[in-house]
């Protein structure tokens, strides 16, 4: 197994592994360790069927269902993340950490590329631990102990789900989820602190009026995705991206209108942020 960093902030490509053959315990542990170190890892040339993809996810954690979109046939924890030729808005097309509006947001998420456009459709990732560490000590003290409020109904991100809910939505009426989590989260495995607010889901700060919290949040939303905290992944067919949702944000770039992009996604169970 070879591990190659792709940027200074986060991200590494792993080669020399054939996931279709299954993973030994040693290989699984090495991949999991790489995730903790680099926050997002990439594996190319992995032509996996749904069961093989699910097996990889199970080796990394506990797959769970996504709240709004039903899974593919026979695999309720694998959803299609797609943008079709006639669609203009891409699923999740805004900087975010996945489903922070849940009481227990996911530990991580993974995407497997099924169809990629001839150009565009890259995904950006941002290191939230570096973003926190770059703040002044005074700002860090201000943020420590604050609680952010997340909602699944924030308008900008709700719009990015509309096409998928229309075609692949669950039969039940969409529920609005709201949760409260620390503005600064301590990683449960590494102990590093990182920002845990995001422009897609964070709607306020507990105990503050909107006019008080909005300027602070606006500053954080801009700060946490500065270029020096990011990496960019250019998709190829049968590639996997697996990111630590507790310490990294992501943003799929919507620059391939007129072309189809289809991914399979699995979300892994997490714990309550502290």
Q: Give the tens place of pLDDT for each residue, 114-155.
A: 999 999 999 999 999 999 999 999 999 999 999 999 999 886
DSSP bridge pairs for 17: none
Residue 173 — very low, low, confident or very high, per pLDDT cuts 50/70/90? low
The yes-or-no verdict on residue 172 having pLDDT over 90 is no
Q: Considering 96, 164, 246, 261, which one is annotated as catalytic?
A: 96
Give me the pLDDT at residue 171, please: 62
Whether 265 sits among the annotated catalytic residues: the reply is: yes
Whether 98 sits among the annotated catalytic residues: the reply is: yes
Q: Give the tens place of pLDDT for each residue, 189-231.
A: 999 999 999 999 999 999 999 999 999 999 999 999 999 999 9
Count Cβ atoms below 10 Å from residue 34 Cβ, excluding itself. Answer: 18
Give me the pLDDT at residue 162, please: 63
Give me the pLDDT at residue 8, please: 98
Residue 169 — very low, low, confident or very high, per pLDDT cuts 50/70/90? confident
Q: Considering 161, 164, 185, 250, which one is annotated as catalytic?
A: 250
The yes-or-no verdict on residue 9 having pLDDT over 90 is yes
The residue assigned the tokens 């570096």 is 130
The yes-or-no verdict on residue 186 having pLDDT over 90 is yes
Q: Give the tens place of pLDDT for each residue, 71-88.
A: 999 999 999 999 999 999
Q: What's the token pair of residue 167?
A: 């075609």
- Those residues whose C-beta lies under 8 Å from the C-beta of residue 15, and which sit 6 or more positions away, are 1, 2, 4, 43, 44
Count Cβ atoms below 10 Å from residue 241 Cβ, excluding itself. Answer: 21
The yes-or-no verdict on residue 157 having pLDDT over 80 is no
Q: What percent of the chain has pLDDT over 90?
A: 90
Whether 144 sits among the annotated catalytic residues: the reply is: no
Give me the pLDDT at residue 167, please: 73
CA 113 – CA 264 distance, rounded (Å): 7
Nearest to 148 by CA among 74, 200, 75: 200
Give me the pLDDT at residue 189, please: 98
Q: Considering 164, 187, 261, 265, which one is annotated as catalytic?
A: 265
Nearest to 46 by CA among 239, 263, 241: 239
Give me the pLDDT at residue 161, please: 60
Give me the pLDDT at residue 170, please: 66
What phi, psi does 164 have (nearest 5°)? Answer: -75, -35
Whether 271 sits among the annotated catalytic residues: the reply is: no
Query: Domains of the chain (ranges plus CATH)?
Result: 2-268 (3.60.130.10)
Q: What stretch of H or E contains 60?
A: helix 50-60
Q: Give the tens place of pLDDT for each residue, 29-48.
A: 999 999 999 999 999 999 99
Q: Considering 32, 38, 98, 163, which one is annotated as catalytic?
A: 98
């Amino acid at each position: 197994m070879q591990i190659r960093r792709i940027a200074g902030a986060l991200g590494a490509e792993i080669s020399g592994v054939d996931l279709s053959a299954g993973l030994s315990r040693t290989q699984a542990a090495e991949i999991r360790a790489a995730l903790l170190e680099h926050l997002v890892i990439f594996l190319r040339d992995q032509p996996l069927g749904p069961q093989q993809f699910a097996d990889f996810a199970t080796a990394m954690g506990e797959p769970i269902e996504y709240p709004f979109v039903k899974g593919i046939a026979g695999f309720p924890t694998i959803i299609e993340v797609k943008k079709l030729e006639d669609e203009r808005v891409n699923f999740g097309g805004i900087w975010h950490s996945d489903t922070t509006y849940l009481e227990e947001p996911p530990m991580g998420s993974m995407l497997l590329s099924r169809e990629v456009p001839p150009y565009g459709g890259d995904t950006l990732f941002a290191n939230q631990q570096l973003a926190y560490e770059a703040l002044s000590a005074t700002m860090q003290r201000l943020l420590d102990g604050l609680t952010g409020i997340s909602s699944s109904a924030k308008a900008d991100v709700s719009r990015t789900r509309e096409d998928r809910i229309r075609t692949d939505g669950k039969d039940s009426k969409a529920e609005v989820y709201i949760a409260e989590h620390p503005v600064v989260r301590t990683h449960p495995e590494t102990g590093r602190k990182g920002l845990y607010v995001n422009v897609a889901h964070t709607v306020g700060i507990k105990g503050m009026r909107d006019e008080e919290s909005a300027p602070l949040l606006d500053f954080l939303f801009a700060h946490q995705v500065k270029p020096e905290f990011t990496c960019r992944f250019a998709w190829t067919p049968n590639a996997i991206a697996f990111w630590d949702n507790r310490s990294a944000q992501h943003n799929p770039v919507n620059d391939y209108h007129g072309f189809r992009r289809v991914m399979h996604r699995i979300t892994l169970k997490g714990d309550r942020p502290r």
